[in-house]
A and B are shown apart, each in its own frame.
Chain A
Amino acid sequence: MSPEKLNGSTTVRDDEAGTERVDGEANPGVSAGMNGGTVVDRRQAAGGAPVVAPRTVEELSTLMTRASRDGRQVRCIGNATSLPPGYLDGPVDLVLSTRALDTVHAYDPADLTLTADAGVSLAQLERLTGDQGQWLPLDPPRRARRSLGGVLASGAYGPLQGKFGTPRDHVLGLTLVTGDGRVLELGGRVVKNVAGYDLVKVAVGSGGQLGIVTSATVRLHPLPVQDVTLLYQTPRLALAVVLARSLATAPVRIPALELLAGHGEEPTVAVRLLGSPEAVEESEHILNVRVGREASHRLKGEASSRWFAALERFEDNAAAVARVSHLPSRLGDLAEPGVECGTVAAHVSLGVVRVAAGTAGGDDRTAVSDRLARLRERVVKAGATFRVSRANIPRWPAPEPATAPGVLALTRGIVDSFDPAGVLSRPGS
């Protein structure tokens, strides 16, 4: 289930300019990981639907307008890494790929802003901005392989949200092709902008329900001079939780604070510090004093960023990934049931815990389903939320809580206004 595989699959050019078809035979196993369960051939998964990669926004808009008129079902794919479970279930007539939208339109280092097409990968952006001593501090799972559009549409984020926020906080504006083919320029290119209702916020993280993101302007940051990761290990989970919470309430803003457990090593609290060498050293001192000990390991520079890059692959080989969340102070209530279910990685200051259960392709699928159900029961009892974000098993437990009726009504109304014909997928409906 790697992007290499997708790239390696045979593509057959056909119909009009710029469209291509992904041939299912090349890699029959691939879509299984994406399809939230049933092991099926890609072509079946998509109902034999062609994959089309428009080269321009106009082409894409025309396709959407037609699909809307003809009542067809369209799904959008970016770099093929993170389809939500169930995404390909049901009939799909057309799969749109943003991969041919791959231009960086504007990069003004002095303004710390960049405008790029949805199909540009975060890895490309990292190289481009790194040359100027800047970066987009967004580190969602599978970061290097993901498309900008996909990350924004899914709202995916990683440990760095502790300081830099989630995709919504990075986007200044974007272009969205709606379900019925309208091309909307939302937001703008400047860092402060309140001209009208903030439709960028609903487009980001909408999971592609409203339309297809074709390009976006993001806000960049200067690369930190110093990058240090501190790893605190303890033999017992309960102690690790106390330690993590103690760090989270230290009078220092920590850019990334993660708890790892059940990963075959001692429970580990990871702290990433970014900034001037002096500030990083001083923060380190404050934190060590606070928890009354030194870190077990101290990684600097490349080693620090490599450790967190490895964490981006945390979900990769799981049979299923659950996300549970609660107030950050309730970390202990989530971590312990989490470890019973699988491997745990928690965004400590946010109160979001990821639990990776089983291994993809492993034969303990029913056991994984059962463990997830138990996890759900326990965390829900503690007042937490639960949902499965990736799944490679036949059945997985429903999210909890269900969306409140008032929120559902607003959501339906908004989605209808962007995609009146219901061309795009609607998770949760």
Chain B
Amino acid sequence: MITKVPRLAAGLAEELIRIVGADAVITDPARLMVYESDGLTAYRCPPRAAVLPRDGDETARVVRAIAQAGVPFVARGSGTGLSGGALAVDGAVVVCTARMNRILELDLHNRRARVQPGVVNAHLTAATRPHGLYYAPDPSSQSACTIGGNVAENSGGPHCLKYGVTSRYIRGLDVVLPDGSRVYLGDRGFDTGELDLAGLFVGSEGCFGIAVEVDVELLPLPQATHTLLGIFERLEDAGRAVTAIIAHGLLPAALEIIDQATIRAVEESIFAAGYPTDAAAALVVEFDGIEAGLEAEAAHAEAACLECGAREVRRATSAEARAALWKGRKKAFGAMGRIAPDLLVQDATVPRTQLPDVLAKIAGIGERYDLRVANVFHAGDGNLHPNILFDRRDETEMERVERASKEIMRICVEAGGTITGEHGVGLDKRDYMALIHSEDTLRAMESVRRVFDPRGVCNPGKVLPEWIRGADPAIAGAPGAGPADAGQAEVGTDGTRKAVPAGATA
């Protein structure tokens, strides 16, 4: 699939090259393919250009130049996002943080680090671990995703049940605003009595500006960790065990469920973890902290699993044995990728107690649409990932995937939940926003976005439904931009350009 996008005006290209050097400005369509989609591969849309600044100063100058030319732009970390957030729609220029990958300061006394946004999540923990510290938010993509992307998505991870999501750990942000000006949000001293603008920026999905330096808080490594793996005959029983463990007053570090479809995918793959393939679900329970007392907590959790019908509970304390218990969970996505050409990773949260009921309904939806749905999720938080396996070359299946997705979202919302727990709205879920927010609330969000980005040039087309955002007008003046020049990209009935779902044109 080749989608024609507006070219970068020569003047702007020269200006960008002056700022970052020729090797950091990419305009060659073949090389731009790398940036045409993120982890949600159903959408593809190549950018007009990609620019890779090295630091905050260069980023500010790049953004100023782009903004002055009236061209929209979008920040991009590693492109592991699962909602199309980093996609360059509307002929946007990608500002990629890949070269801003330095840890600027490790302040061990204060348990803080100052990092550039392109630092990979796992690299930060690797750098701090020798000092007995770590960065707590641990998205399953942590070996690839960046801190900047984590900030933008307010990412979670398996251990966020106990430790909380990204926003808990961000102390301050040095941000380049969409007009190229720079502002520090948050406060190293923490107690200014001002609006929590850093908290607002976290989770703003790249629409409020580009974070160019991030002050994060680190935690001391837990002294010890105990891991359990419960094997269940019924998925609902695993869901009940989660509630029983919490009801017992225990707060595990992680509570993760892997269903039968996922177990089988893993066991058939090279990642085989030794989970029984006839089991309906496996539940990973992990406790960490002070060594003393973990044993008792693990024993309580084991009892709770058995009471809820677990046929077997495995336990591990050594690093290798624990890794073996986690393997099926950690390799789930990779394994699924091997059994179907395409994978739609869904994301929604429901109240924890609704899990058994909602899981049963999701299974029903899968059957009704004749689709394979594999669940692997953060059960302790009620954060579901019903993953739909499909083949995008099959157009009728694509349509069923879409309809099943919509229904899954609806039942999660009806159960008192929300349309995304950690992957964000991005491009993918804009039109679901009205399922959970009133028009007034959506308009309030749009007003706040306009405070940061009056011209609508920063990651346009994301998060809010178009009827709230309106057309983003700033783009019009730009030479070569705008709908008329959008080449063969799909033009919606309203005349606006839409990202092209890859399956539709491939």
Please name the 6 residue pairs, one residue from A and one from B, whose CB atoms are nearest each other, closest first: A201-B199, A406-B183, A278-B293, A413-B451, A325-B189, A282-B292
A43 in the interface, Cβ–Cβ < 8 Å?
no
B493 in the interface, Cβ–Cβ < 8 Å?
no
A202/B196 in contact, CB under 8 A: yes
Q: How far is the CA of A384 from the CA of B192 in the complex (A)?
A: 11
A112: B residues at CB distance < 8 A:
246, 352
B110/A404 in contact, CB under 8 A: no
Secondary structure of the B contact surface, majority rule: loop
Query: Could you show 30 A-B contacts with beta carbons less than 8 Å apart?
Result: A110-B243, A110-B247, A165-B168, A169-B167, A182-B440, A185-B441, A188-B418, A188-B436, A190-B416, A192-B383, A192-B422, A194-B203, A194-B422, A195-B419, A195-B436, A195-B437, A196-B433, A196-B463, A199-B200, A199-B444, A205-B196, A223-B249, A249-B108, A251-B132, A251-B223, A276-B297, A351-B190, A407-B185, A410-B183, A411-B194
B425 in the interface, Cβ–Cβ < 8 Å?
yes
B132 nearest in chain A by CB position: A251
Q: Tell me, rounded to whole Å, the shortest Cβ–Cβ distance linking B250 to chain A.
A: 7
Interface residues of A in 382-401 (CB under 8 A from B): 384-385, 387, 389, 399
A168 in the interface, Cβ–Cβ < 8 Å?
yes
| Candidates B223, B350, B421, B445; contact of A197 at CB < 8 Å | B445
A222/B351 in contact, CB under 8 A: no
| Candidates A195, A221, A278; contact of B292 at CB < 8 Å | A278
Q: How far is the CA of A307 from the CA of B424 in the complex (A)?
A: 43
Q: How far is the CA of A198 from the CA of B204 in the complex (A)?
A: 7
Q: How far is the CA of A194 from the CA of B424 in the complex (A)?
A: 6
A283/B290 in contact, CB under 8 A: yes
A384: B residues at CB distance < 8 A:
189
Q: Tell me, rounded to whole Å, the shortest Cβ–Cβ distance linking B415 to chain A.
A: 9
Q: How far is the CA of A194 from the CA of B292 in the complex (A)?
A: 36
B448 in the interface, Cβ–Cβ < 8 Å?
yes
B456 in the interface, Cβ–Cβ < 8 Å?
no
A352 in the interface, Cβ–Cβ < 8 Å?
yes
Q: How far is the CA of A384 from the CA of B189 in the complex (A)?
A: 7
- Beyond the given A190-B351, A195-B418, please list 13 additional residue pairs across the A-B interface where CB-CB is below 8 A: A194-B425, A196-B433, A197-B448, A198-B154, A198-B203, A199-B441, A249-B108, A276-B297, A277-B293, A279-B289, A350-B190, A404-B184, A410-B197
Q: How far is the CA of A178 from the CA of B447 in the complex (A)?
A: 13
B83 nearest in chain A by CB position: A194
B132: A residues at CB distance < 8 A:
251
Number of A residues with CB within 8 Å of any CB on chain B: 82
Q: How far is the CA of A196 from the CA of B443 in the complex (A)?
A: 11
User: Measuring CB to CB, which residues of chain B are less than 8 angstroms from any residue of chain A?
Assistant: 107-112, 132, 153-154, 156, 160, 164-165, 167-168, 177, 181-185, 187-197, 199-200, 202-205, 207-208, 219-221, 223, 243, 246-247, 249-251, 289-294, 296-297, 349-353, 378, 381-383, 416-425, 429, 432-433, 436-438, 440-442, 444-445, 447-452, 463-464
A205: B residues at CB distance < 8 A:
195-196
Q: Would A325 and B451 be within 8 Å (CB), given that A194-B421, A406-B183 are in contact?
A: no
Q: Tell me, rounded to whole Å, the shortest Cβ–Cβ distance linking A306 to chain B.
A: 22
Q: How many A-B contacts are there with CB distance less than 8 Å? A: 250
Q: Which of A201, A278, A428 has the most CB of B within 10 A?
A: A201
| Candidates B190, B292, B417; contact of A190 at CB < 8 Å | B417
A191 in the interface, Cβ–Cβ < 8 Å?
yes
Q: How far is the CA of A386 from the CA of B451 in the complex (A)?
A: 28
Q: How far is the CA of A326 from the CA of B352 in the complex (A)?
A: 39
| Candidates B167, B422, B438, B451; contact of A198 at CB < 8 Å | B167
A427: B residues at CB distance < 8 A:
193
B200/A190 in contact, CB under 8 A: no
Q: How far is the CA of A115 from the CA of B449 in the complex (A)?
A: 28
A417 in the interface, Cβ–Cβ < 8 Å?
yes
A196/B195 in contact, CB under 8 A: no
A59 in the interface, Cβ–Cβ < 8 Å?
no
B193: A residues at CB distance < 8 A:
207, 387, 389, 399, 427
In the complex, per-residue mask of A13-45: 1 if CB is within 8 Å of any chain B CB, else 0? 000000000000000000000000000000000
Q: Which of A110, A112, A275, A276 has the most CB of B within 10 A?
A: A276
